[in-house]
Amino acid sequence: MVSERNIRILGISGSPRKKATDYAVSHALEYASENYSASVEYFSAKGKTINFCIHCDYCIRKKEGCVFKDDLTDLYDKMIWADAWIIGTPVYQGNVSGQTKVIIDRCRAVVARNPKVFRNKVGIGVSNGGDRTGGQEPALKTIHDFYIINEMIPIGGGAFGANLGGTFWSKDKGKEGIENDEVGMKSLYRTIDRMIEVSRTLIDC
Ligand SMILES: Cc1cc2nc3c(=O)[nH]c(=O)nc-3n(C[C@H](O)[C@H](O)[C@H](O)COP(=O)(O)O)c2cc1C
C-alpha cells in the first residue's frame, strides 16, 4: 500500500543564535521541501527557555511528560509528528552545544510516557564548527547515539563526502560561512537524499 501523505521532517537548531546552524538546518528543510515535497517543522533554541533535566523522575513516575512546562513542550509534539529528524548543532568544545544536549536529554520525558514513541523514525545530524576539524564528527556521533538509544534509525550520507552526515566548516562566519562551504553543502544534500530514501522505504510513500 502506498501512503498518500508527504514525509514529515522536523529540523532542530541547537544553537543559541540564528546564524550558522540556523541557516544549515533551515536550508536543509527548504531543500527537502522543494525537492521531495516534504512537510516541515522547525525549532530553534535561540531565545527559548529550556530547563536542564534535573533527574526528578517525574516523567517516569507520572508518565505525563516533563515536570517543566517550558519551550520544549511544543517541540515534543513536533518530535512525535515527524517521520524524520534533522538535529543541527554548533560544535562546542569538540562536541554538541549545551543546548543540543539538553534538548536530547529532555526527550526522556517523552519516551517515559511511551517507550516506542520514536521507534523507526529516521534521524540525521548536521554539525558545524569554526575549525575545519573542530569536532564535527564527535558531535554527529553524539546525535547518532541518541537516535540509537531511542530506537530511531541514524542515517549518514555515504562514503566519499558525507560519511556521518552533514558537516560544515563555518570559519566562525555564521550563515556566510555555511553558504560558502561547498563541501559541507554536498554533505548536507547527500545526507538529506539518503534520509528521504530510507524514510520512504519505512513509511511506504
Ligand atoms: C563555547 C564555544 C565553544 C566552541 N568550541 C568549538 C570547537 O570545539 N570546535 C570548533 O570547531 N568550533 C568551536 N566553536 C565555534 C562554533 O562552533 C562556530 O562558530 C559555529 O559556527 C557557531 O554556530 P552558530 O553560528 O550556529 O552559533 C565554539 C564556540 C563556542 C561559543
Residue nearest to atom 5 of ligand 1 (CA): 92
Residue nearest to atom 4 of ligand 1 (CA): 92
What is the topology classification, in CATH, of domain 8-204?
Rossmann fold (3.40.50)
Ligand 1 atom nearest to 168, measured from its CA: 21
133 Cα–ligand 1 center, Å: 11
pTM over 0.75: yes
| Tens digits of residue pLDDT in 93-150 | 999 999 999 999 999 999 999 999 999 999 999 999 999 999 999 999 999 999 999 9
For ligand 1, residues with CB inside 6 Å are 15, 17, 19-22, 90-94, 128-131, 134-135, 170, 172, 174
Q: Per residue, what are the HEC states of the chain?
A: CCCCCCCEEEEEECCCCCCHHHHHHHHHHHHHHHHHCCEEEEEECCCCCCCCCCCCCHHHHHCCCCCCCCCHHHHHHHHHHCCEEEEEEECECCECCHHHHHHHHCCHHHHHHCCCCCCCCEEEEEEEECCCCCCHHHHHHHHHHHHHHCCCEECCCECCCECCCEEEECCCCHHHHHHCCHHHHHHHHHHHHHHHHHHHHHHCC
Mean pLDDT in residue range 36-53:
98
Domain ranges across the chain: 8-204
